[in-house]
Structure 1
Amino acid sequence: MLRNREIQMLVLILCIISFCATALAGIILSYRAAIFILIISIVLNGCSLIFTRWRYREIEKLSGYLRQITSGNYSLDVRDNREGELSILKNEIYKVTVVLSEHSSLLQQDKVKLTNAISDISHQLKTPLTSMMVMAELLSDKKLDEAKRAEFTRNIRVQLERIDWLVSSLLKLSKIDAGTVLFKKDKIFVRELVQKAAESVSIPMDIKQQTLKVSGNESAAFLGDLNWTAEALINILKNCVEHTNEGGNITIGFSENALYTEIAVRDNGKGIPKEDLPYIFQRFYKGKNAGEDSVGIGLAMAYSIITRQHGDIEVESEEGEGTQFRIKFYKHVI
C-alpha cells in the first residue's frame, strides 16, 4: 500500500499536521496537553491508515476479479448488498460480468450456427457442382451426339440458375440476420401486395393448372416494406404451388382489425406431417414431402422478413387436406 504515491503523500500530510498540532499545544498550553494531542494524533492516523489499507485490499480483490473475467471466468460473484460506494461498485461490476457472460454465450452460439450454416451451404452446393463437373467432362467428348450435348448444356444452365438463386437467397438472409437491412415503414395495401406476389408464381400455377382465389377488405393495410414483404409472400406461395397437385386451389384472404392486419394463404395440397411442423421455418430443413429440388430456405427467409417487421407467422396443416399460413402484422408493438 505504501508504494502508492497518494498514500505516501497522505502519510506525510498527516505527520506534518500531527507535529504542528503537538508543537502548538506544547507552546500555547502545556507539556501534558502536547503529549495528549500526540497520542490522539497517532490513534487517528493509525485508524485512517488501517481503513485505507482495508479499502485497498478490497480494490485489489476487485482487480483480481476483473483479471479472471478477462481470462473468461464469469462464474465469480462479488455482489454486496451493503450500503456504500464500494458495494455499489461491486454490484455494477457484477452486472457487467453478467452482460459479458451473455455476450460470450451468444458469440459461441453464433460460431456454432456459422459452422452449421457453412456445412449446410457446402452440402447444398456440392450436388449441383458435382453434376456440372460430370456433364462438363462428358461435353468434352467430341463423339457426343448433338442431342445429348444440348441436354447436358441445358442441365448445366439449370444447375447454374439454382446455384445463383441459392447464393442470392443466402446473401439476403445474411443481411437480415446481421441487421443491415433497413425495412421501410410505408403504408402497404394488402391487395397491392398480393397482386405483386401473385405475378411471380403465375407461370408455375398455369403449368400445373392451379387456381388462385383472392378475397378480402380492399382497405386492409399495414406499415412495412413492400418489396421485402412481397419476397416473403412469394416464398410462401411457391411452397403452396410446389405441394399442391395439378388442378388444385390456392386461396388468399386478408382482413384488418384494431390489433393487426392478417393475411391467410391456404392450399388443398399434400399437407405437412405433424412431426415436420415445428421445423419448417428452420434454414435448410426439408420435410418428408419436400421435392427433390427443394433447398429448404424459402420459408426460413419468409419467417425472417416477417418477424423483423414486428409480424408473426403461424402454420396449420393436415396431411392430405392442405396447409394454411397465417401472417399477422401488428399495429402496435410493446
Structure 2
Amino acid sequence: MNKLSIKIGTMFFLIIFGLEIFMFFFLHSAIVESRIEEELSALQARGNSHRAILEKHFDADTISHVTLMESEANTDVVITNESGKVLDSSDEVDRLKKYLKIPYANIPREGKIIEGNWRDEPLIATVSPVEQGGKATGFVYMFQDTKSVHNLIDRLNEHFLLAGLISVSLTIIIIISLSKALTKPLIIMKDATSQISKGNFEVTLPKRGNDELGDLSKSIKLLANDLKYLKKERNEFLASISHELRTPLTYIKGYTDIVLKRNLSIKERQKYLNIILEETNRLSILIKDLFDLAKIDKNTFVIEKEQINLYEFLLSIERKLSPAFLEKKMNLRISCPSNVIILADPSRLEQIILNLLDNSMKYSYADTETAINVSKDKLSVQISIKDNGKGIPNEDIPYIFNRFYRVDKARTRSLGGSGLGLAIVKELIDMHDGEIIVKSELGKGTEFAIIFKG
C-alpha cells in the first residue's frame, strides 16, 4: 500500500474504533436498562395476574394457591390485607418486612414498583392493590432476587467484550487488506454495510451523483431503513407473543401442579380443570390467529372470491349470533337491501364480520343495540357495524389495527382478547382491496365502516 492508503486506512481505523466504542457503550447501557425494565414489568405483570384472581376470590384457599404457585417459581409473593397484615407468603417474611412499609393510599390501580435499585439492593419488588367494590381489600407484593440480574449483566459484559475484540480485529484486517485501487467512497460504503450487519441501521452515506456509486449509496441507505423497520417489527412481535404465551402457560402449569400434588375435592378439582381448559382455549385461539397472520405475511393466505348476496349472507350471521346477543341482553339489528351483491371470499368475509361483532358484544352494555347497515352507490358497497358500547379514545384509534395493541389493557384477560382480531380484520380487508374506517366516541359507541369496491 502507498502512503495515501496508509493515511486513509489509519484515519478510518480511528474513526471506526471510536464509533464502535461509543455505539457499544450506548447499546450496552440501552440493553441493560431495557432488561431491567422488562424484569420489573414482568414482575409487576405477575403481581397483577395474581391480583386479578384474588379480586374474584379473596379467600384463604385462593391466597394459599397463589403462594403455592410462587413457591415453585424464582419469584416470591406476600399477600396482605388492607391494613398491611400479612395473610400468606411464599418465603420468610422477616427479610421482606422493610419493603412492606409503604403508603398504601399512593398505590395506583396498575400497581407500583417499590424497589427498583437492582445495583445495591438484594431484591426488586412491586405491589398491586386488590380491590373489591372500588376499595382496596389487600395487596400483592412480588419479589425477585437481584442475583439473576447481576449474573445477566456479567454475561452481557463478557459478550460485549468478546464482540468488541472481534469487531476491532475485523476492522484491522479489513483495513490491511484494502488495496490502493479502493477509493474513499467505497471505504465508507463498506463501513456502512459492516455497521448494518452488526445491527446499527443509522448509517449515513455521502451524497453522490447519478453514477453507479450514487445508485449504490442510495441502495445501501434504503436497505438500512428496511432492515431497521423489520428489526423493530420483529422485536415488538417477539416481546408481545412472549407475554401472551407466558401468562396462560403459567396458569396451566400452576393449576396442573395443584391438581396433581394436592388431594382436592371433586368441586375444587373441577374448578381448577375449568381454569386450565379456559387458558388452553385461549392459547388455541391465539395460535390460530398467529398462523393466519403468518400465512398472510407469506402471501399463502388464499382468497377465493365469489358473488355474495349480502342480504342472505347477513341473515345467516344474524341467526348464528342472535342467541349470543340475547344471552348478554343485547339486540342485533340488520338493515340491508335485498339486491346488494359483492365479490368476496365468503369465509373470510364472515371472519371479518364475526370479529367486529364479537368486539361489539365484549365492549357494549346490556340493553344496547348493535346495528349492521348496508348501503350501495355506483362505486362501492359499505357495510357499517355500529354499537352503543364503551367507545375508543381518540388517541388509541390510529393503533387499534396494530398487532397485540389493546385499548382496555386492564380488562384484556377477563374479556379474552389477544390483540390480534382487528389486525387480522385489517389484513383480510386489504386483501379484498377494501378499506375500513373507524369512528368512535367514549361512552357512546363505535362504528366500523367496511368499504368494498362496487
Decide: shared fold, TM above 0.5. Answer: yes
Alpha carbons of structure 1 residues 283 and 63: separation in structure 2 relative to 1, 3 Å: closer
Q: Note the residue ranges of structure 2 that are not aligned, 5 or more in a row.
A: 1-179, 197-202
- For the residues of structure 1 that align with 2:273 and 2:297, how far apart are their CA atoms? 36
What secondary structure does 1:329 align onto?
strand
3-state SS of 1:286 partner: coil
* 1:232 correspondence with 2:362: no
2:225 aligned with 1:105: yes
Structure 2 equivalent of residue 75 of structure 1: 205
CA change 1:200–1:117 in 2 (3 A) is: farther
Aligned residue for 2:261, secondary structure, equals coil
Mapped to 2, the partners of 1:138 and 1:60 lie a distance apart of 69
- Cα deviation digits, residues 116-160 of structure 1 (max 9, x gap): 111101111111111111111110135211100011111111110
1:312 to 435, 438, 445: 435
Equivalent residue letter for 1:180: T
**What corresponds to 2:100 in structure 1?**
none
The secondary structure found in structure 2 opposite 1:214 is strand
Partner of 2:241: 121
Structure 1: runs of 5 or more not aligned: 1-56, 81-89
Matched residue SS, 1:171: helix
**Inter-CA distance 199–113: structure 2 relative to 1 (3 Å threshold):** farther
Question: Could you say which residue in structure 2 is the equivalent of 1:189?
Answer: 309
Does the 8 A contact of 2:322 with 2:331 survive in 1? no
Q: Judging changes above 3 Å, is the alpha-carbon distance between structure 1 residues 249 and 79 closer, same or farther for their aligned structure 2 residues?
A: same
Deviation at 1:203, TM superposition (A): 4.0
Do the aligned partners of 1:232 and 1:305 also contact (CA within 8 Å) in 2?
yes
Q: Distance in 1 between matches of 2:391 and 2:445?
A: 4
| Partners of 1:223 and 1:68 in 2: CA distance | 52
Q: C-alpha separation between the residues in 1 aligned to 2:186 and 2:320? A: 62
Cα distance in structure 1, aligned partners of 2:318 and 2:215: 51
Match of 2:364 in 1: 244
1:68, distance to aligned residue in structure 2 (A): 6.3
CA offsets, 1:261-318, max 9 Å, x none?
Answer: 1000011112222232222212111213854332221111111111222111111111
Counterpart of 2:279 in structure 1 is 159
Matches within 5 A, 1:284-299: 284-288=404-408, 291=412, 292=414, 293-299=416-422
Q: What does 1:14-163 correspond to in 2, within 5 Å? A: 71=194, 75-80=205-210, 90=211, 94-95=214-215, 97-163=217-283
Cα distance change, pair 68–123 in 1 and its aligned pair in 2 (3 A): closer
Maintained 8 Å contact 1:251/1:266: yes
How far 1:65 sits from its partner (Å)?
Answer: 8.0
Percent of paired sites with the same residue: 27
Match of 2:314, SS? helix
The answer to whether structure 1 residue 324 and structure 2 residue 447 are counterparts is: yes
Match of 1:175 among 295, 298, 302: 295
TM-align CA RMSD? 2.7
Would the aligned equivalents of 1:188 and 1:222 in 2 still touch at CA under 8 Å? yes
- The CA deviation string for residues 56-107 of structure 1, in whole angstroms up to 9 with x for no partner, is x999889778756765577244324xxxxxxxxx25x634543453243223
TM-score after normalising by structure 2: 0.53
User: TM-score if structure 1 supplies the norm length?
Assistant: 0.71
Tell whether the 8 Å contact from 2:193 to 2:220 is kept in structure 1 after alignment.
Answer: no
Q: Distance in 1 between matches of 2:359 and 2:340?
A: 24
Structure 1 position 201 matched with structure 2 position 321: yes
* Equivalent residues, number: 265
Higher relative contact order (CA 8 A, sep 6+): 1
- For residues 247 and 181 of structure 2, the distance between their equivalents in structure 1, rounded to whole angstroms, comes to 62
Deviation at 1:181, TM superposition (A): 1.7
